[in-house]
Amino acid sequence: MSGGERIEIVATAARLAEIGPAWMALWRAAGGLVFQSHAWVSAWWETAPDRRRRSLAVAVAWSGDALLAVLPLATRRHRGLRVLEWAAKDHSDYGDALVAPDADPAIVARLWARLCGEGGFDLAYLNRLLPEAAARALLAPGGGRSVRLRPSHRSEESLRVVGDWPSGKAWFEAQSKKTRQNHRRGQKFIGEKGALRFRLLGPEEPLEPVLERVAALKRLWLSGNALESDLFDEGSPTLAALVRVLAETGLLRLFVLECDGVVVAVSINFEQAGTMMAFVTTYDPALERGSPGMVLMMDYIQWSIDRGLGAVDFLCGAEPFKLKFATRSVRLDSLVGARTVAGAAALLLDRGRHAVRTLRARPVRPARETPASVIVA
């Protein structure tokens, strides 16, 4: 403990609710992303469909009534193991700790040590760390009963549009001729079905009809690609709860492309730290020939540049449609560590499988021919 610092592990929904005001004050002071806010973590926890296999494990450090730091974690049972991971991990593109601007950076390590002392997990997996993440301090060797975290072989990409364009139109004109033509063809194709309109949903407009449309379109896409996501399950309250957080914090920027008033593409975005961030995007597959999703993307990129934002962040994932416009790629790293024998065995197995996959992926070198002059009869 340092300078009157008091560390607590928040493990119940009731206590999570109680610390809400202090957590949100820290979030604002630290300039954290919405994924580290109390509102986001609470919305996830209140609506998670599988809470029976999860437990809260949020480490917080106090100085009097003020929070100095938060390490927002939770455990999840997976294949017989208790995995410690970011709270709301499934719906958060960047994971991190929150630290007050004037706090000792080593406070994150002290929170980690307390969590490790409490136990309750077999292995830790902290993923999607930005280069500047405060949680990278946990790479330093731990002391006492701390579980030592190491870099994982697992990493992801975050793609962004960053550049010096004086206007959205200038960005558009800087794209390839084919890209510009495709955008205009898409607009024309959709416009032939009805009046085409790109717009930002107003703060006074109800969110529910658009979110229901998003979930329905996403279910169509997931089904067509043999994928699943409980975020878009019929009747699931999670998507609405998370979007409500974006709206109540003033961050929500919900863009729609409409054809005769019917939504044919949606991008649920939020604006933070001078950046437009694209959280959920979808489109109507019935108009796939017109690429409504790409039309909408190009429109909101131009809107963002005209607003003076410094970047458009497509968040986690390097899908091909993002690569069409991205000018920068950021690597998101992961940390892993084992607390029990079962956890150590699981990590060892995972590293072994990764080594085998890496070996198999290497190109096979052609056998070198032996010169005829050295062949012995």
pLDDT (tens digit per residue) in 200-247:
999 999 999 999 999 999 999 898 888 888 899 999 999 999 999 999
Per residue in 245-256, pLDDT (tens digit) is 999 999 999 999
Residues shown for the chain: 377
Q: Assign domain 6-155+333-348 to its CATH architecture.
A: 3-Layer(aba) Sandwich (3.40)
Confidence of residue 371 (pLDDT cuts 50, 70, 90): very low
What are the beta bridge partners of residue 75? 55, 84
In terms of pTM, does the model score above 0.85? yes
Rounded CA-CA distance 373/243 in Å is 75
Residue 364 has pLDDT above 80, yes or no: no
pLDDT of residue 89: 96
How do strand 275-283 and strand 311-316 relate by DSSP bridges?
A: parallel
The CATH number of domain 163-326 is 3.30.70.260: no
Residue 370 has pLDDT above 50, yes or no: no
Residue 22 has pLDDT above 50, yes or no: yes
For residue 362, pLDDT beyond 80: no
Report the pLDDT value the prediction gives residue 144, as an integer from 0 to 100: 58
Q: Print burial letters for 77-93: b (CB count within 10 Å at least 16), e (below 16).
A: eeeebbbbbbbbbebbb
Closest C-alpha to 83, from 334, 353, 352, 318 = 334
- Interval 42-51 mean pLDDT: 95
Higher pLDDT, residue 185 or 370: 185
**Between residues 230 and 181, which one has the greater pLDDT?**
181
| Residue 149 scores a pLDDT above 80 | yes
Average pLDDT for residues 282-292, to the nearest whole number? 95
- What's residue 376's pLDDT? 35
Which helix (H) or strand (E) is 297 found in, with range? helix 292-306
Per cent of the chain over pLDDT 90 is 87
Residue type, 170: A
The answer to whether residue 260 scores a pLDDT higher than 50 is yes
With a pLDDT cut of 70, the percent of the chain lying above it is 94
> Average pLDDT of 297-322?
96
What integer is the mean pLDDT of 281-303?
96
Range list for CATH 3.40.630.30 in the chain: 6-155+333-348, 163-326
DSSP string, 326-371: --EEEEEEEEEEESSHHHHHHHHHHHHHHHHHHHHHSPPPPPPPPP
Residue 369 reports pLDDT greater than 80: no
CA distance 262 to 209: 11
Across the chain, mean pLDDT equals: 93
pLDDT score at 143: 55
